[in-house]
Structure 1
Amino acid sequence: MNSEIVNFPIYAHLDSSFLGQFIGHEGINIYRIEKTNRVALDIWKDDNENSIVRITGPYWNLKSALSDVMTLISEIRNNNQRYYFEIPPKDVGFLIGKNGAKINEIKLSSNVDVHFDRSNKPEIEEQEVERETAVAVKGNYQQVLTGLRLICDRLNSKGEKTLYDDPRTRQFAESLLESF
């Protein structure tokens, strides 16, 4: 049987920072694609330092292996969604909560990573203008949506009283009794 070669430009579909996830721990993803489809798969860089996946094998095996490569890329991209937005610096502390309690609750509830970037300071220090704080939410698509909803709910609740604000109220006592 004749072997053919397909060069797939992975750089066009996947950021180079995720190439390690594509390869897998100790090359497990490449090994699985090779064994399942009976092909040889390797990654090399072209003259422009772009990553290329080269698949070598019989024609129909190449088609199947290429399908597996695209499926793996889709899984990696879905699991590494990032959403960036900005909030006023005065809301950062409210969102984080005392000792990080509120942001940790959001992280645990939605299984996302939330990072704050406060480094974007004005170039001219004489200006008293505070810039927005950049927030990055990372996870898969559904997790990011859930995390953003929880963050939005938290920010929208600013200024509203909850029954937990004053432990002397009857509502607080009733909710405490319900928890027992």
Structure 2
Amino acid sequence: MKILLYIFFSFILIPCNGQSKIQKENSELDITTTYPKINLSQIPKTWKSLNTIQKDWIKVEKDKDGYLIYQPCDGKTETVKLEGASLTINWRIENSQKFELEKFTRLTDNNAFRADGYDVENKIGFEIKARIVDYKNGIVLWEFNGNKWLMTPKENFKSFRIIKNNCETEKKKELDFLPIEDYK
């Protein structure tokens, strides 16, 4: 009888303890993943005019499974908005920054542009570049102020896997993603 009880507890209780530990480790991450329901991500191979460049952009990350939108625990997903002769960068944590565009030029067979921007409030100027790197997935490489961001037009938001780092009451570690490759 004792042997039967030992076998019972060995097969039933030990796996349960192992399972709860795994659940605890996963709950420490507290990640929610939403998979795309639509496929709108393709963008034109070129921008035929300055007016055809999409106005609202959202940052895209990349991991071993492909492109995704990351919603961090602390802050918000970075965005860029073109409005007439200005460009607004919404950073993850810092306040947004608005630049007046002084010079705007399409480049490289119309699949890229560069602009000189000037932040009137902070008296900072810098160069902004954007280049289509993957039109099928709707990915554009933006470069400014030492930053490189992969971005997609905001209307493509639901075309990507979305990973949300939940943090109801306290800060959680943010996820790390693959570095931005040097696109040719």
TM-score by shorter chain over 0.5: no
Q: Could you state the TM-score of these two structures normalised by the residue count of structure 2?
A: 0.28
Structure in which a larger fraction of residues adopt strand: 2
Q: Could you state the TM-score of these two structures normalised by the residue count of structure 1?
A: 0.28
Q: Which has the larger radius of gyration?
A: 1
- Compare relative contact order (CA 8 Å, sep 6+) and give the higher one, 1 or 2: 2
